Structure 1
Amino acid sequence: MLLHIEPLDRVFFQLGPITIYWYGVIIATGVLLGLWLATRESERLGIRKETFVDLVLIAVPIAIVCARAYYVIFQWDYYSQHISEIPQIWHGGLAIHGGLIGAIVTGVIFAKKRRLSFWKLADIAAPSIILGQAIGRWGNFMNQEAHGGPVSRTFLESLHLPDWIINQMYIQGQYYHPTFLYESLWNMLGFLVLLALRRRNLRRGELFFTYIIWYSIGRFFIEGLRTDSLMLTETIRMAQFISLLLIVFAVMMIVVRRMRGLANERYND
């Protein structure tokens, strides 16, 4: 006998032609919570909170466009035949690495124009970014995407998950690994680690590099479980390849900046 489990409604609110999806609401919630956190920390470190409001208003739209462009580029065989679907981000399809590239480039230009330290801005933003990622993965949950390979219901129950999560992982007659949940929990743990570290009077820039290393380690292993990965080659997953590069890059930057005396400045509580 086949099970019939209704998925959670992807629509948060609908009024006539206006439809608001849970995916967008969840991402917006992550952005707003991250902004609130960043403005509190920026004031502690002597940067006006309006600075981060200005940065977010510029960086978030650019990051979304870059995240979508990154995804579309690696799925061009499909989107070249469905051009009208490219702007439809409410169906998912935002690549975090693409968004990070857009946000970092925007942050560098913003810092230069405002005559601020990019590393200081990046250190303030790091806990907010990983918190936003932890929350944003629940948008994937509502869309029933970014999941792993097939598993049994017994396996999911062994994880002591509530029924509403287990049932949402039942997609087209099969249960799947809730990889969105694994990454969300990893990121939330990373958020707590970064909060603890930022009170340790770290060298400038190193909290941001710690974020890169932490997130990339988790993403590398979790990506190996997913079934919808963007592929660099037939056997190499793009996210895993980028994660390895980012780990090496972050470690090298910490070492090189210390050796060259570029990371001597520390934060004072």
Structure 2
Amino acid sequence: MQTLLTAAALVPAGMVPASIPSPDWSGFDIPLPWGSLRIHAYALCILAGIVVGLWLTSVRWAKRGAPEGSVWDIAIWAIPFGIIGGRLYHVFSSPDAYFGPGFDGTGDLSLIPQIQRGGLGIWGAVVLGAFGAWIGCRRAGVKLTAFIDAAAPGLLLAQALGRWGNYFNQELFGGPTTLPWGLQVDADNANFPAGYPANTLFHPTFLYESLWNILGVLILLALDRRFHFRRGRLFWLYAMYYTLGRVWIEAMRIDDAEQISLFGITTRLNVWTSIFVFIAALAVFIVLGRRKDGNADSVYLPGREPAPAAAATAGTPVAEEAGGKRVSGEPDGGTPAVAETAGSAAEKDTPKDSASAPSVTGNPVRDTDRVVSDSESRDNLPDNQNGSGLASAQTEAVPASTGGTPTAAESRNTGKPGGTETGTAPESGSSR
């Protein structure tokens, strides 16, 4: 650090090396009848980030099969909650300007709502923004986990553009540097650190984070295309990536911030926050990866899925039953269901004792009862062995069939002299 300060002091005034110049403007005024309205460049960068982030989110959300326009229904809740949460996190992570050093009451509470001066903490924005998104998702009938997966790359892209607001406000830069991309800060700016020469260059941490985030957008899109993350896993992957970069970028900054001592180490609150969020995100990412959800691809909440189309499938036969019921569809065999109904009605008018009754489809089906086994064939030998009287007694002992299918005994009679001709059922069978 001392070496960098010495090197910066040796550079003559007016001979600043290659560097990123300080901005020439920080906004513009809109004249009004009672004065003017100041539009800050910081706010424009935030708005540009929101617009581009929503665009990317809407494209990804539509590809997931979400209801049309639902991204805007969710954003109208998520954005205001996110801005409020981001501001609250910044106020309590850098409280001196608002509450005074050590909360001694010497601060200016009126600065809290002045967001145009800068100061939005990303983790407060994410937490309250997610709560607002949950409200919007419930109203739209979609899953929050599905939405945050779709929104993760867009959120990182929004942060990449929003960080340029720190450049126009000349704030949140790093320590001094002699690198050719060092950042110039106006010496008369309230954020210029005391004790440094006017021509000192500083690390453009806003640029580091912006480039880190843009790279992260490409990585998240590539990983999601390869692995198709669901159940919120892509969002937690975003949290891991962002905090990994935020740790080293935050450690470079020299602006005032709340210092926290843990495990014998004293550093900025945002550094500790990033470490803990990274660990928590990694744990949740692993746990979610072990869960199985057969409906993970659906973006809809259970019971909120869209109703199926009422139109019948093209090519499906539709007919009327004799009783007036409408029958549609085909059985597995490809025969229309109505054919079965028609066939059942036809059977009532067809003699059931015919040797070959037509099937439902019109193909003849032979009576399987006419197949006589060897043992039955031996029973047909009474003429030569036991006499005809026994065969006649056996025939008379068999009750008359009430159906149209000949009994085994009747079938045996067809092969004897004087019996019914083969293939023709006895007339007494049909009358009974």
- TM-score surpassing 0.5? yes
- TM-score, normalised to structure 2, is 0.56
Q: Which residue of 2 aligns with 1:136?
A: 162
**Alpha-carbon contact 1:137-1:183 (below 8 Å) kept:** yes
- After superposition, the CA RMSD in angstroms is 2.5
Q: Which residue of 2 aligns with 1:10?
A: 26
Residues 73/255 of structure 1: CA separation in 2 closer, same or farther (3 Å cut): same
Alpha-carbon distance, 1:62 to partner:
1.3
Alpha-carbon distance, 1:125 to partner:
0.4
**Alpha-carbon contact 1:72-1:79 (below 8 Å) kept:** yes
State how far apart, in whole Å, the 2-side matches of 1:17 and 1:210 are: 44
Alpha-carbon distance, 1:236 to partner:
2.5
State how far apart, in whole Å, the 1-side matches of 2:215 and 2:297 are: 24
Alpha-carbon distance, 1:30 to partner:
0.7
- TM-score, normalised to structure 1, is 0.87
State how far apart, in whole Å, the 1-side matches of 2:79 and 2:155 are: 11
Alpha-carbon distance, 1:169 to partner:
7.6
Correspondence list, 1:19-58, <5 A? 19-58=38-77
**Alpha-carbon contact 1:231-1:237 (below 8 Å) kept:** yes
Gaps of 5+ in 2: 1-11, 100-106, 193-197, 299-432
**Alpha-carbon contact 1:183-1:218 (below 8 Å) kept:** yes
**In the alignment, is residue 183 of structure 1 matched against residue 209 of structure 2?**
yes
**In the alignment, is residue 100 of structure 1 matched against residue 126 of structure 2?**
yes
Q: Which amino acid aligns with 1:78?
A: A
**In the alignment, is residue 237 of structure 1 matched against residue 273 of structure 2?**
no
Q: Which amino acid aligns with 1:66?
A: G
Gaps of 5+ in 1: none
Given the alignment, which residue of 237, 249, 253 partners 1:210? 237
What is the count of residue pairs matched by the alignment?
Answer: 259
State how far apart, in whole Å, the 2-side matches of 1:116 and 1:266 are: 12
Alpha-carbon distance, 1:180 to partner:
0.5
Q: Which residue of 2 aligns with 1:221?
A: 248
Q: Which amino acid aligns with 1:219?
A: R
Q: Which amino acid aligns with 1:107?
A: A
Given the alignment, which residue of 223, 234, 239 partners 1:197? 223
Larger radius of gyration: 2
* Higher share in helix: 1
**Alpha-carbon contact 1:202-1:266 (below 8 Å) kept:** no
Q: Which residue of 1 aligns with 2:177?
A: 151
Given the alignment, which residue of 279, 282, 289 partners 1:251? 282
**Alpha-carbon contact 1:229-1:237 (below 8 Å) kept:** no
Residues 187/82 of structure 1: CA separation in 2 closer, same or farther (3 Å cut): same
Larger mean Cα displacement after TM superposition, 29-38 or 70-79? 70-79
Give CA deviations for 1:202-254 in whole Å, capped at 9, x if unaligned.
23122111111110100011111011263242622111111111211111112
State how far apart, in whole Å, the 2-side matches of 1:61 and 1:184 are: 23
Q: Which amino acid aligns with 1:248?
A: I
Given the alignment, which residue of 69, 79, 82 partners 2:88? 69
**Alpha-carbon contact 1:10-1:143 (below 8 Å) kept:** yes
Higher relative contact order (CA 8 A, sep 6+): 1
Identity %: 34
